[in-house]
A and B are shown apart, each in its own frame.
Chain A
Amino acid sequence: MKKMIQNHLWTYKGVKLTLGIVVAITIVEAVAIILQATWLAEWLFRLFSGEIFQTTWTLGALFLLAFAMRYLMSTLKKKITFQFAEKTRVETRKQLMTKLFELGPSYTNKQGTAKLVNLAMEGATQLRTYLELIIPKMVAACVIPPMVLIYVFFQDKLSSVILFFTVPIIIVFMILLGLAAKKKMERQWHSYHLLSNHFIDSLRGLETLKYLGKSKSHGNTIKKVSDEYRKSTIGTLRIAFLSSFALDFFTMLSVASVAVGLGLRLIEGNLLLDVALVVLILAPEFFLPLKEVGADYHATLNGQEAAKAIHTILAEPSPACNPILANTLNWANNSKLKLSSVSHSHDDNGLQALSNVSLQVNGFEKIGIVGASGAGKSTLIDILGGFLTPSQGSFRVNQQILNTLNSEAWQRQITYIPQHPYIFSQSIADNIRFYEPTASDEEVWQAAKAAELDDLIHSFPEGIEQEIGTGSRSLSGGQEQRVALARAFLGNRPILLLDEPTAHLDIETEYELKQTMTALFKGKLVFFATHRLHWMEQMDRIIVLKDGIVVEIGTPHELMLRRGEYYQLVLSQLEGVQ
């Protein structure tokens, strides 16, 4: 049972108090159970001895009182644990969200947004359910059986001995059978895993199967594999269910033995019926809390998994924040940014995504960043945007030395346009004014016009108040980029970070966007990471990355003359197909 309670249970705020209250209530509950049994037995005994209902009804009333008390206590217990569990859920969820924002986009990307959203929604609820189940059950299993057993011991020693010795037998058998089931599961795990994933794999590959002309015949395979899956699952269940069978079998047998033992001693006259009745009523109550520990196995397991996942994230070290950067930073033509030996590795295995990058940029330079996939372009952009704190190296912004650009003052200078700008589920106007919530409708219109979004907005039935984003009207890739550009025009922030903004667009859309984008570059510091080398004509300097290392820096002209990496990139792209 200890295994079921994980260590972090003790770290939740208020757990000891809750536990204390639940223990107190459970003790009252156990007393009620015993009283309920005693009064019922007494009542039945007197009726058995010839009395009639009318003269014994007070015992019935007492029984009902104890009975009601017992379930009242149980309800109270549920209420208190729920309150605690809910509080813990809210608290944990808040910690999780705060942590995620601290860890930043590189972490959320690596972990997968869907998984994290699921953890914050389902995971936190599963944690609540787990606490709700485990606390009362654990306390009940620790409090009720011993109290019942002690009471039975003073009534009838032999019965209490039978009950007592059933427990270790049950535990031994459950462990043995559990191990057998686990062994069988492990042996079959591989094929089981394959079979259970076969269906979803088939659905995902349906299009491919169709194109191969195999989709019809595969329908029969689905049936066949599902049948195999059933057989192998049932094979495992046959053993897995045995442990609950053992629990059932031994408790029932134990109750039966108690009953038979009582009967035989009654015949011999060594025992009175009222005692026998109490013991018989209490025997199932003795096992009930033990049985319930094993119930809701899946909910418990899910809760534990969720708690583990959440606590793993909470245990991640937060990156150092750098509040030193003055809030008065205002990037201008004479500003300077210097990177000194900046390195970053995504994993602990030391593989560096970026190593030893040193460079200086001045004022409103336009810097192109090129290189093959995985060369470190996005990592560099993320570091420049302060989304990522490099593992090594330092920055100098004008006169200040920093170890990260993750600072509000710096990020206020930035407009960031990725390959897929995120469109929030809001009106198009609110999407455009996302960085500048106070902008007026007039200003939003100006920005939309500059980004050539006006035709699109006019075509919307609700104009600028039209809801866009997931779940409502979705935009094409080119339109999404224009919304991002409108944001940039509206904010007019002096630094522009572009991460492959046109990689996925068709050439005509890119052609149309190019005019708008070049207009935006004026009077700004631009970092532009891309595969599309035609943009390099607009750049002052180009950084060429290869395997995380800066291999070349220079003007486009210089780099072409060097006939190095950049020249090779241009060559491979010029013709596309050799």
Chain B
Amino acid sequence: MRTWIIPYVKMHYKGLLASILIGLLALACGAALMFTSGYLISKSALRPENILMVYIPVVSVRAFGIFRAVFHYLSRLTSHNTILRVLANMRSRLYKTLEPQAAFIESRFQTGRILGVLSDDIDHLQDLFIRTILPSTTALGMYGIVVACLGWFDIIFALLMAVYLFFIVVFIPILSLWSSRKRTALIKNGRYDQYHILTDGLLGIKDWMIAGKPNDFMKQDTMKDQSVAMVEKRTKNQQQIRDLFNQLIIGAMVISMVYWSSTMVAEGNMHVTLIAAFVLVTLAIAEAFLPVSEALEQVPEYTESISRLEALEETEAGKVTPKPNASLSAVPRSVNILLDQVAFQYPAFDKQVLKDVSISIPQGKRIALLGKSGVGKSSIVQLICGSYAPTKGTVTLNGTDATAYGDSLFDMVSILNQRPHLFNTTIANNLRLGNQQATDQDIVEAAKKVQLHDYIKSLPKGYHTMMEESGQIFSGGQQQRVALARILLKGSPVVILDEPTVGLDPKTEADLLTTIFSTLENKTVIWITHHLAGMKHMDEIIFLEDGYIEMQGSHQELLATFQRYQNLYYLDVPPSIRKMVQI
């Protein structure tokens, strides 16, 4: 609340104030229309001799009618314009919060789904402004105006009306919100459980079928649904009673208004033509106050979004981002990477991932990193990229700490990972992301190298084809080729391959790897993999286990020295099959 709402209210107070004021004008015109109409017909009923006597009300009735519509229109436009400005600010803030965490965003949030959730959260905040903050504030403003206007005639009566309206605008909405908070939580938890049950049901549908008990699932689901529906029904009942009660208060206001105005007239304090005017206006302004209850009802739905966004920045605040202090005047052609007695554990985790690892990677060397999942292969990549600093030892590129480079490090190092993102723009723009200065000729060259040129040419719009949702145009293997072309255009001397072939079938995998290694001639290649296919082509193979290097050496060396490597290798390449091929 404090960080995601108030700053924006302050920043955009002009726009917000404008839309509230114009909104108030619209309401006032609507009220004035009924007031003047009531006055007009009462005045006319007194049969003034000259029509000019009612000339002003006649004109203003029409004017109020027109202005009411105009102001309403303007107020909606102003509020939407302001909110969209707020949205733009919030979006760039969310982006800036996430940006420093980019390199490990996948490991923190597991999937890209959470990113969608965060983006939706921002949209929810937009609704908070449009549906709750603006209408409630406008109603409060109208409240003030109404009481002030009546106070001009009679302070005591104004106070009475203030009490009535206090119920509608403040007391009942808050009471209703407060009394339903337990049920709101129940519904939320119930929905969450239900979501799990359904997901279990549909993702595990084959298991339910094989177990022969789809009916059990249906029963479980229906029961949960009923219990949630019961609570929802009670909430609904409460809302209906609340709305009825609000209406009755308005009825009471009308009666009080009649009593007050007729008494004023009887006592000679007010002209008789104003009775109808006051009563009609009471009926008309009710529309301004009733929506408050509904507006506040939405609040619990926003709190979750707000707390999620706030949590994001709190964890961010706790982390020390290393300050870059080395900048590259020119990208070096040769990069020597050195991990020296490195130990590492993730902040806020007590498990040491790497205990003592030393690796030297001179320019042009090809090494493969192997080991079970969770052994720290990706940690080594993050250390080389300077996303984290080692807890012990040093990680240096050409003698300078990796963390000191900041983003300029990526001029030297490129990464091809499991899911390179293809942006929703043209193919050419996607490739050009590797190097903004690349000419069309460069782009075609790169596409040719990764063997995509012919395919791209076969598309109706060629290089200007829009990517749409990635995957519709390019298969998994082709997406990797696009990313590879990007890396080639970037031309960095070091390329890290972070399991780029996971999920591809062996044929596609073999073709892709062939292209990768033929195009990355003379570059340093660090390849994280979980299979042994292709190990022959690597200069060095490193097996990690329990935070140490378990085996290290070339394919031939390992095969000759380690029984374990032999076992694994023969699993991948069974001797019997091998023999058959060699016949």
Contacts and interface: CB of A to CB of B under 8 A. Distances in A.
Chains A and B come from one and the same complex = yes
A371 B275 CA distance: 89
B212 A408 contact: yes
Contacts of B69: 245, 248-249, 252-253
A205 B68 contact: no
B502 interface: yes
Interface in A61-91: 63-64, 67-68, 71-72, 75, 78-79, 82, 86, 90
A244 B75 CA distance: 13
B438 to A, nearest CB: 12
Interface in B190-214: 191, 194-196, 198-214
Contact of A204 (B112, B210, B258): B112
B581 A229 contact: no
B66 to A, nearest CB: 7
Given A373-B505, A504-B502, A577-B534, A387 B206 contact: yes
Contact of A226 (B87, B229, B236, B503): B87
Nearest to A47: B262
B31 to A, nearest CB: 12
Interface in B92-123: 92, 94-96, 98-99, 102-103, 105-106, 112, 115-116, 118-119
A508 B551 CA distance: 13
B371 A252 contact: no
Interface in A369-383: 372-373
B414 interface: yes
Nearest to A413: B210
Contact of A242 (B73, B204, B263): B73
A463 interface: no
A207 B416 CA distance: 11
A117 B577 contact: no
Please classify how large the interface on chain B is, using the bins under 10, 10 to 19, 20 to 34, 35 or more. 35 or more
B506 A411 contact: no
A248 B72 contact: yes
A267 B509 CA distance: 92
Contact of B258 (A60, A205, A373, A408): A60
A293 interface: no
A578 interface: yes
Nearest to B506: A573
B470 to A, nearest CB: 9
B66 A230 contact: no
B296 interface: no
A207 B244 contact: no
A556 B199 CA distance: 40
Contacts of A385: 206, 210
Interface string A200-211: 111111111111
A425 B463 CA distance: 46
Contacts of A16: none
B580 A560 contact: yes
Contacts of A560: 577, 580-581
Contacts of A536: 577
A219 to B, nearest CB: 6
Interface stretch (B54-62, B170-178, B298-306): B54-62
B196 A425 contact: yes
B5 interface: no
B68 to A, nearest CB: 5
A94 B201 CA distance: 13
Interface stretch (A4-12, A21-29, A275-283): A275-283
Nearest to A56: B262
Contacts of B255: 60, 63-64
Contacts of A514: 571
A194 B198 contact: no
B144 to A, nearest CB: 24
B295 interface: no
A273 to B, nearest CB: 4
B514 interface: yes
A505 B73 CA distance: 60
Nearest to B40: A263
Contacts of B125: none
Contacts of B284: 284
Contacts of A43: 258
A574 B577 contact: yes
A357 interface: no
B77 A238 contact: yes
B561 interface: no
A40 interface: yes
B41 A97 contact: no
Central interface residue in B42, B105, B262, B407, by most chain A CB within 10 Å: B262
Nearest to A433: B211
Nearest to B53: A267
Contacts of A277: 38, 41, 276
Interface stretch (B78-86, B149-157, B389-397, B446-454): B78-86
Interface string B151-184: 0000000000000000000000000000000000
A208 B513 contact: no
Nearest to B112: A204
Interface string A247-258: 011001101110
A117 B210 contact: no
Contacts of B30: 252
A34 B484 CA distance: 75
Contacts of B118: 203
Contacts of B531: 506-507, 576
Given A194-B424, A252-B69, A576-B509, A506 B373 contact: yes
Contacts of A194: 424
A259 B40 contact: yes
B44 A101 contact: no
Contacts of B112: 204
Nearest to A230: B84
Interface string A453-491: 000000000000000011100001110000000000000
B84 A121 contact: no
B553 interface: no
B574 interface: yes
Contacts of B43: 263
B424 A197 contact: yes
Contact of A255 (B65, B73, B209): B65
Interface string B223-267: 001100100010011001101100110010011001100110110
B358 interface: no
Contacts of A238: 77
B533 A573 contact: yes
Given A230-B84, A241-B73, A418 B206 contact: yes
Contacts of A182: none
A451 to B, nearest CB: 16
A213 B403 CA distance: 14
Interface stretch (A342-350, A441-449, A518-526, A564-572): A564-572
A116 B201 CA distance: 11
A141 B384 CA distance: 69
A120 interface: yes
A17 B106 CA distance: 54
Interface string B511-538: 0011001000000000000111110110
Given A210-B102, A385-B206, A216 B420 contact: no
A290 to B, nearest CB: 15
Contacts of A48: 42, 45, 272, 275-276
B66 A249 contact: yes
Interface in A92-117: 93-94, 97-98, 100-101, 104-105, 108, 113, 116-117
A573 B504 CA distance: 12
A340 B35 CA distance: 85
11 contacts: A68-B251, A101-B209, A199-B91, A199-B95, A210-B103, A211-B415, A259-B37, A269-B47, A470-B199, A507-B530, A537-B577
Given A248-B72, A571-B581, A577-B534, 14 more contacts: A48-B42, A200-B119, A203-B115, A205-B423, A210-B103, A218-B95, A230-B87, A237-B76, A249-B66, A256-B62, A262-B44, A277-B38, A280-B38, A537-B574
Give the 4 A-B residue pairs with the shortest CB-CB distance, closest first.
A576-B533, A226-B88, A205-B421, A506-B530
